[in-house]
Structure formats: C-alpha cells, structure tokens
Structure 1
Amino acid sequence: MDIEALNAEHGIDGILRFTEGRGGLTMIEIANAQATALISPYAGQVLAYRPTDAADDLLFVGERAYFAEGKAIKGGIPICWPWFGADPEAKGRSAHGFVRAWPWQVLATESLADGATRVQLGIADDAETRAVWTQYFNLLVDIHVGTTLSVDLSTLNAGDRPFNITQGLHAYFKVGDASRIRVDGLDGCRYIDKAADGGDAVIRQEGQVAFEHEVNRIYEDVPPVLTIVDPTLDRRIRIESEYSRTAVVWNPWVETAKAMDDLDDQDYRRFVCVETVNTASEVIEIPPGETYRLAARYSIEPL
C-alpha cells in the first residue's frame, strides 16, 4: 500500500495517520481525545485499543506474532471468515478462513460527531478470492474508536444463490495473570469442550469460567453481555455482542503455547480469548442480495 497516497486520501490531521509497522505492513494509527488504537488494513484487524483513562491496553499481541504477508497475526481481533475453525470442506485450506491473512481495502475514515473515529475496510470477491472460496460477496468491517471500541462485520451475498458462513471476532484480551481471571455470564450455558479427548464432549457451565489448564470451548445460547474480571489489572472487560448466540473461550495453557511458534512460552499467562462468533449449531445462511451482521462492543471498567 502507498502510505503517502493513503494519508492524502484518508488521513485525518492530528487524529489518524497511515504508517509503516512491523514487517513493513501498513498500519493505521489513531489518537483522538477519547482513545488510541492501531489497526492493520492487512487482515482488517484491530491490534491495539486504549481509552485515554485506561492504564493498560485492551488487547494482547505477542512479541513473536508474525507480521508478514500470507501469515495471520496472533493477537488483537483477527477476523475469522467465511468459516470458523477447520476447513468445512476438508480441502486443506487454512483454519478460520482466509481474510485474516488477506489485504483489505481502505474504504472510508471519518471523525464522528461524538468524538470517535470511524474506519471502514472491505474485501470484494475477485478471481483470487474465488480460487479459495467460490462465492460472490462483499465483506465490510466498520471499526469505531472512542470511549468504547466497536467492530461491526457485515457480509453481503452478491451472488444469485444462497451461501452459508460461520465466522468470528477472535479477540485476544490482555490480562494480568490468566490463572486469576474469571469470565462471567456463561453460568448454565452448555459448551462443546474442544480440549477434551475427541473434542465433542458437551458440558453445562457451572459458575464463572476459570483457567487452570487449557480451555477451548464453544458456548451455545449465550447472553449478549459477557465480562472478564481481572483482579491483577484491577479491571473488568465488558463484551457486548450482537447477532451472535455462540461464543468461544480459549486459552492454550502451557503445552499448547509451547507448540506455537508465534507465542512465547509464557504468553498463555498474558491473554484470554473471549470470541463473538457464529459457529457450531449457528451456521448462517445468507440469501442472494441480503446482508448479515456480526458485531461486538468492548469497554474497560474499573473493578
């Protein structure tokens, strides 16, 4: 991407600028009166967000994360689309779809009346995307950076027949110590335990979610608000989801983290993923000419 041209067309004086980031990837830096943020147009991914009154960033990105074309960036809020998890057709395509390692087009930037900053990025189908996934589509992500962070993903079926998707906002939240945090809001929900032998045990959550070993769960019929309680950083992270009845909670813990080249061995202590998704029983069918949205709003509150 031509950084000078992007700044000329989409930069906002004193608030938003395009820069060269890690690995030579283009980045969007935002600093308004309410918050700072870092967004990667490659992958359409929020990498950092910090309200002006917050002591720590909302999101986690590891030092060993890949910043290279063709590689997914582990951290921030990767977008999983048009499938969540393994390739549903077993064609050898990458897990979690292809758009988290794909260049997005910068469509719009603006300062909003409430002081927040909006960025819109998009991908439209072409010969390259159809070589991976045959459907005709228009995918947009709207990101609002203000006193809260919102990410709104919309999928337009631009073809003449319906198609199915699963998808997710795979948020990595920074925590002080994963062994001390708790996730509230899932008491009584059934989950598929992907970390269990066979990966398909169905269990009912009792009380808060705690982390004492690897956790990889798909929760179903979840409420619209979940919270991460973090006594080490003395804060609560609030996650408000729309158009989602499923959620994923993940932390790799010791052995799985050691097996990942793009995680430091101790990184499992520094994050937890609580993901707004449509997956498992929540497969979305989009008729021709129609649009489906998946959205989440994130905020930091003191304990």
Structure 2
Amino acid sequence: MGVTQNEKSVTLNHESGSSVEIQLYGATVVSWKQGGKERMFVSSKSALDGSKPIRGGIPVVFPIFGPPPSSPPEYAALKQHGFARQQNWTLESTVMDRPEGVSVRLRAPAPPSEFGHNYKLSYVVTLTAHQLSTDLHVVNEDNKEFIFQALLHNYLAVPDVSKIKITGLDKGVQYRDKILDGKIDQWDGSTLVVDRPIDRVYQKVPSQEIKVDDGAGSGFAVRFKGFVDCTIWNPQEETGSKIADMEDKGWERYVCIEPGYVKDFKSLAPGEEFLAQQVITVL
C-alpha cells in the first residue's frame, strides 16, 4: 500500500495488488492494474514527455470539449479539448491510505492569463481492490460567472473491441452522432456494439451507469454523478490509422466511455463549486 512520487508521476498501490499511475502532466491516469491485468489502454506511440497530450489512459478534458466554440473570444482561442490535459499538475495531498483504499488530491496550476478567468481545479483519484474513482472539483474564485465543459476521456482496455457489448443507455436518450455530421437521433434501448466507427455524445443519460461486457468474461461498469452526458468513441481503422500517435491496430484494443458535462456549458456563480465523479468497477 501507499503513495509514491517522482518528478513525473504519482503511483498508488493497494494491498490487493491493484495499482494506478498518474502522470503529473495533465493529471492523466496512464495505468490501472487490477486482477493482474492492465485495465487502461495507452498507445505505445503516445508522447509521455509533455510535448503533446497523452493518447490513452484518462485525459482530463477542460474547460471545453472538442473544437473551440466561436465565442466568447477567450474560449474561441483555445485548442481542442482545452488546456488542462497539457498543464503540469501538482500532488496536493494524500487523502487516504488504508485498507479501504488509497486516495490523492492533485491540483491544476492557474489558468493561462489570457484566458481571463479565475478558478480552482482539483482532481481526487481513489484506488480500491476492484474500483478506480476520479472526482473533478471546480470552484469559481472570480467575481463573475464562469462557464466550462468537462469530461474524463477513459480509454478502457478490451481484448477485442469487435466482441464487446455496451449496455445502460436508456431508451429514448438523444445522442449527437459526430460521424454523421452532428445528426441528432434517439437511442432505441438496444445493446450497442462497435462494428463501425463510433463517435456519439449521449445527452443527459438517466441511468448514469454504462456497462461494458468485454466478450472475454470481464468488463467494466462506469458510474457517474455530476456529469450528465456520456461520449462513446472508437475510430476503427478508417480513422484510427490516420491518428499519428495511435499504434497499429490500437483501436482494436480499447473503447472510450467518457462521462462529461459537454452538451451544454456548466455555469458557476462567484464562489460556487462543481463536483463530478466517476467510479469504474471491474466486472
């Protein structure tokens, strides 16, 4: 058990044998070992030197999701998915270190001065025998409204994405299909399989729990609170082969189940706090 740190990362070890490694660059979880298996996918071609966002694990998407909006101007000037995943975070404290679990709090640096907003962004990562919890805290420390989007971009490792089954998406939930130029459709309540490129934002998911049967006797349950939307993404060969930092056939070994607040922007009044959590359980 315990928490260890070096100049690049923080590692949590639980007495069950589970472990998690968090790169301080982007506060990105890059490894979660449980039951003798690696549960996160990270591309072997991903840069881990801070030169670009990490391709895999759990990148923190903040304060925008996807391409920048046309306004306000300080948001329009941002890069895709914002800047939190390219900031150097710090280990603020060990929250818990006992048989029930090991937990740390990380703190993001101040936002770029040109962004023009003042907030506190922190991230609590908790490891237990069978679960990994990640909590995002945002406090508006300004004297004006602060709006943002946030998402946890989980790359869940699976043996063969063509054999997985995804359940928990409620019948009637609207989703925006980015493969079909943002077309809005309604989910029919069936089991989702990945037999083609998929990039969908399921909006305001009532169940707040998505399950993945990995087709090999295991899988994941992703529960979330505070987050209301869930993006599901796998590029398949058509797009995956064009991603520069994606290893060959890497897209066959993960599915992205991404809780977030991304259909709309979340608004915080001065002094107001936003808390969102996900709990990933190995099935």
- Please report the TM-score for the alignment, with normalisation by the length of structure 2: 0.92
1:121 counterpart = 2:106: yes
Match of 1:83 among 57, 61, 64: 64
Task: Name the structure 2 match of 1:154.
Answer: 137
- Which SS does the other structure have where 1:195 is aligned? helix
Task: Name the structure 2 match of 1:246.
Answer: 229
Task: Name the structure 2 match of 1:19.
Answer: 6
How far apart, CA to CA, are the structure 1 residues paired with 2:87 and 2:14? 28
Task: Name the structure 2 match of 1:3.
Answer: none
How far apart, CA to CA, are the structure 2 residues paired with 1:209 and 1:41? 34
The 8 Å contact of residues 176 and 183 in structure 2, kept in 1 or not, is answered as: yes
How much is the aligned-residue C-alpha RMSD, in angstroms? 1.6
* Aligned-pair CA distance for 1:125: 2.3
How far apart, CA to CA, are the structure 2 residues paired with 1:88 and 1:39? 30
Match of 1:142 among 119, 124, 129: 124
How far apart, CA to CA, are the structure 1 residues paired with 2:135 and 2:279? 9
How far apart, CA to CA, are the structure 2 residues paired with 1:49 and 1:259? 27
- Which SS does the other structure have where 1:93 is aligned? coil
The 8 Å contact of residues 212 and 219 in structure 2, kept in 1 or not, is answered as: yes
Q: Which residues of structure 2 form unaligned runs of 5+?
A: none
How far apart, CA to CA, are the structure 2 residues paired with 1:17 and 1:125? 25
Deviation string for 1:99-129 (max 9, x for gaps)? 1011012101244344411111112425xx1
Task: Name the structure 2 match of 1:47.
Answer: 30
Counterpart code for 1:224:
Q
1:230 counterpart = 2:211: no
Q: 1:29 to 1:124 in 2, by over 3 A?
A: closer
Q: 1:138 to 1:55 in 2, by over 3 A?
A: same
How far apart, CA to CA, are the structure 2 residues paired with 1:135 and 1:300? 38
1:100 counterpart = 2:85: yes
How far apart, CA to CA, are the structure 2 residues paired with 1:168 and 1:238? 17
1:186 counterpart = 2:186: no
Match of 1:66 among 44, 47, 51: 47
Match of 2:244 among 261, 269, 272: 261
Task: Name the structure 2 match of 1:163.
Answer: 146
Deviation string for 1:5-59 (max 9, x for gaps)? xxxxxxxxx6222236xxxxx12222220311111111111111123xx142221
Q: Identity rate of aligned residues, in percent?
A: 23
How far apart, CA to CA, are the structure 1 residues paired with 2:163 and 2:170? 18
- Please report the TM-score for the alignment, with normalisation by the length of structure 1: 0.86
